[in-house]
Amino acid sequence: MSLLRIAVQSKGRLYDETMELLSEAGIKLTAVKRTLLVPSRNFPVELLFLRDDDIPDSVASGTADIGIVGLNEVMEKQRNVEIVRPLGFSRCRLSLAIPKNIEYTGLAWFNNRKIATSYPVILDEFLKKNGIKADIHVITGSVEIAPGIGLADAIFDIVSSGSTLVSNNLAEVETVVKSEAVLIAGSKKLSAEKQEVLDELLFRIEAVKAAGDRKYILMNVPKDKLDEVISVLPGIKSPTVLPLADPNWCSVHTVLEEKCFWEIINKIKSAGAEGILVTCSRHRKNGAVMGEIVKLYVHPDRKEWMEIMSRSKAEESAQVTEIVAGIINEVKARGDEALREYELRFDRARLDSFRVSNAEIEDAERLVPEPLKAAIAQAQKNIAAFHSAQLMQPVMVETTPGVVCEQRQVAIESVGMYVPGGNSPLFSTVLMLAVPAAIAGCSRRVLCTPPGADGKVNAAILYAASLAGVEEIYKVGGAQAIAAMALGTESIPKVSKIFGPGNRFVMEAKQQVTKFGTAIDMPAGPSEVMVIADDAANPDFVAWDFLSQAEHGPDSQSIALVESEAMAQRLENAISSHIADLPRREMMLKSLSHSSIVVLDKSEIMDFANEYAPEHLIINTADADALASRVVNAGSVFIGAFSPESAGDYASGTNHTLPTSGFAKCYNGVNIDSYMRKITFQRLSKEGLQALGGTIEIMAENEDLIAHKQAVTWRLNHINE
């Protein structure tokens, strides 16, 4: 029997949701997605994995019989295909967006503007329909960065949660097309066999979709109220009624469509029902999205671990590398002039001077409320106490009579500290970087941070910097700030080592400037947390730890390791409940889309954790100390139910500048040693050289380094004369 060939996307959100749909429709595959053509082992179909924009072509040409793809790709490619069925998932929209600090006056604003997009056909049709004449600039990859780097005035791109727009300082102003996943077919009629398979597939898909719109309800009802409760239940069939141990009560089970569930829930309660339990009529697991928020994996095979652990990777890294290299070269060639241009382009700030004045610091002190000042002071005290304790006394050892070796800690003379702006004013990062630098004794401490469009730096950042003794603060952000500190400009001094977190452009810049002889604290990427929780853990505690990491940015990642599906469900419910009203919900949902809950045997949990090597590791279990003793790869560990990661972020005393992306396997977080060099000294007396000289001569001669040998021999001869 010939197989019905289905073209599907090879990666991304649409891939995940398509695989979930097919799995719930009972279709099992014989291989992993990385194989181009994969047959099902229990249904007469095979999947052809392609890029999304190749799917309409493959279906139109007959290479595939049908395809699952976004409506936006069908509209853009304009191939001879038929939309068989909308599928209701991967919903998004194609929208126009402009820099959020620009006043939008309607569609006429786009006249004579340059618009960057990967969808020129759809955009061109829309503009012509509305009589707008604009310059369409076609870009593949990260369209959202185009306005920020001066390539375009606006963008036309796919929008899902809107978090990518927010993180790039863009505002959505016009929705042009609403898209979702659709099932498409070509113009050629299928054979009778394949049509029969397609009909069965469509039947299964409709059944899965219907299940997703329903709620399964269990409740306890007094027998004398049973008829009254049943009368308000619009069940698909008569509800199931089961006896309970108490002869006066019974258990009622039924399925309701979600659209009417909330309308009748109060009627059920008023009629006398108690102990009402509501669940979705289908439970998603092993890579599927639970409650549309996070992925759940139940006892995955160890072969699957690496895929579960995969971090969110910044797209178009080659493009980022090229952009950052251009910025560094411009700063190297033109210094302050280039910095002014970049600050106007990226931060919308027109600056005459980069250095923050004493008057601005004094103003900031007046603006910071007293409770925040007290909190910053407490955090500074704890950070100072912990880092001061890390200072080492000189080490002096007489290894051989007359041979004295010594090691002394010496501070790096000039350090640069980068404090991000963007989503939050990270004044806590000021303390984490500047307090240890002062304790170490770094004589020049330079801080760069991006200003707002008004040319001012956040008051709390300035206050924290002043409290920590930083005297040189510059209004420069992004990759250009890293370049300035590494190379030096007319205004900003060159430093020996650069510290601090940042976005992908900042991190790329830190990597690139090392070739100019500037050291960096560590390679790093998006922030991450791993939480280990047993069944006794408070799910609300775990949920807030999970969500706190998602607040950092859309590329952040949270992973929870639990011992049972029951705990996984309690945690998922808590996450769903708590995220509902958070102000950064839209951005956090993007972070959570590549986060997960993993159910493992207790014996596997620490193996998984050490392999992942998290930036932050929270151990919320009854045997937390025992598990902590087995940690070998982590940036910072939080032990016990009352040790939230937030404590380390702000005020416990440990440093929150930590290795990410698995680098905790070979790097530690920032500490006092990060600001120091350990210089060794040795002094040999005549007696010492006589005692050790023969050893040195033999070793040097056998390495064929005769000058090394003679440096000793001549001294020994001099002593013996």
Answer whether residue 288 shows pLDDT above 70: no
Vertex 464: Cα angle to 331 and 341 (nearest 5): 20
Per DSSP, the three-state class of 341 is: helix
Residue 466: per-residue pLDDT: 96
Distance (Å, rounded) from C-alpha 402 to C-alpha 699? 20
Q: What is the mean pLDDT of residues 635-645?
A: 97
pLDDT tier at 316, thresholds 50, 70, 90: low
The pLDDT value given to residue 205: 87
Length of the chain: 721
In our burial notation (b when 16+ CB lie closer than 10 A, e otherwise), range 138-171 reads ebeebbbbbbbbeebbbbbbbbbbbbbbbbbbbe
Cα(432)–Cα(549) distance, integer angstroms? 18
Average pLDDT over residues 498-507: 89
Average pLDDT over residues 410-430: 90
Q: How confident is the model at residue 277 (pLDDT cuts 50, 70, 90)?
A: low
**Given this model, what pLDDT does residue 287 score?**
44
Asked whether 289 and 90 are in contact (CB, 8 A), the reply is no
pLDDT band at residue 285 using 50, 70 and 90 as cut-offs: very low
Residue entry with tokens 């398509």: 18
Q: Is the pLDDT of residue 447 over 60?
A: yes
| Alpha carbons 552 and 423: distance in angstroms, whole number | 8
Question: Per-residue confidence at 289, pLDDT binned at 50, 70, 90?
Answer: very low
234: confidence class by pLDDT, cuts 50, 70, 90: low
β-pair partners for 355 = 474
Q: Which of 674, 329, 322 is nearest to 487 (CA)?
A: 329
- Work out the end-to-end distance of the chain between its first and last CA atoms, rounded to an integer number of angstroms: 101
Per DSSP, the residues of 443-509 read SEEEEEE---TTS---HHHHHHHHHTT--EEEE--HHHHHHHHHH--SSS---SEEE----HHHHHH
Q: Tell me the C-alpha distance between 527 and 501, whole Å.
A: 9
pLDDT score at 480:
97
Tokens (6 digits) for 221: 């009802």
Task: Determine the pLDDT at residue 291.
Answer: 42
Q: What's the pLDDT at 340?
A: 95
C-beta separation of 457 from 388 below 8 A: no
Give residue-wise pLDDT tens across range 253-266: 877 765 666 667 77
Inter-residue contact 137 to 149 (CB < 8 Å): no
Stretch 307-321: mean pLDDT? 73
pLDDT digits (tens, 9 = 90+) for 175-197: 999 999 999 999 999 999 999 99
Q: Is 387 a catalytic residue?
A: no
- Asked whether 467 and 376 are in contact (CB, 8 A), the reply is yes
Instruction: Give the integer Cα–Cα distance in Å for 279 and 174.
Output: 37
Q: Answer with the residue of higher pLDDT: 504 or 33.
A: 504
Beta strands 289-290 and 249-257, pairing class: unpaired
Residues 654 and 645: beta-carbon distance below 8 Å: no
Q: How far is CA 410 from the centre of its chain?
A: 36
CA angle 373, 384, 648 (to 5 degrees): 75
The pLDDT, as a whole number, for residue 517 is 94
Helices and strands (H and E) in the chain: how many: 25, 30
Give the pLDDT score at 515: 94
Q: For all residues of the chain together, what is the average pLDDT?
A: 89
Between CA 6 and CA 39 the distance in angstroms is: 10
- Asked if 257 is an active-site residue, the reply is no
CA distance 589 to 583: 12
How far apart CA 483 and CA 343 sit, in angstroms, is: 13
- Say which amino acid occupies 684: L
Task: Indicate which residue of 615, 697, 708, 718 is catalytic.
Answer: 615
CA 19 → CA 11, 47, 201, 315, distances in Å?
A: 10, 10, 14, 22
* Alpha-carbon gap, residue 677 to 673, rounded angstroms: 7
Q: What tokens were used for 458? A: 């956040």
Dist. CA 481–CA 515, nearest whole Å = 16
pLDDT in tens, 84-115: 999 988 889 999 999 988 999 999 999 999 99
CB-CB contact of 496 with 480 (8 Å): no
The reported pLDDT for the residue numbered 286 is 46
Mean pLDDT of 58-79: 95
Selected catalytic residue, list 137, 387, 594, 616? 616
What is the pLDDT at residue 315? 47
pLDDT category of residue 524 using cuts at 50, 70 and 90: confident
Q: What is the mean pLDDT of residues 498-517?
A: 92
Q: What is the pLDDT of residue 290?
A: 41
Helix (H, G, I), strand (E, B) or coil at 78: coil
Distance CA 326, CA 270 (A): 68
Cross-strand pairs, 5: 46
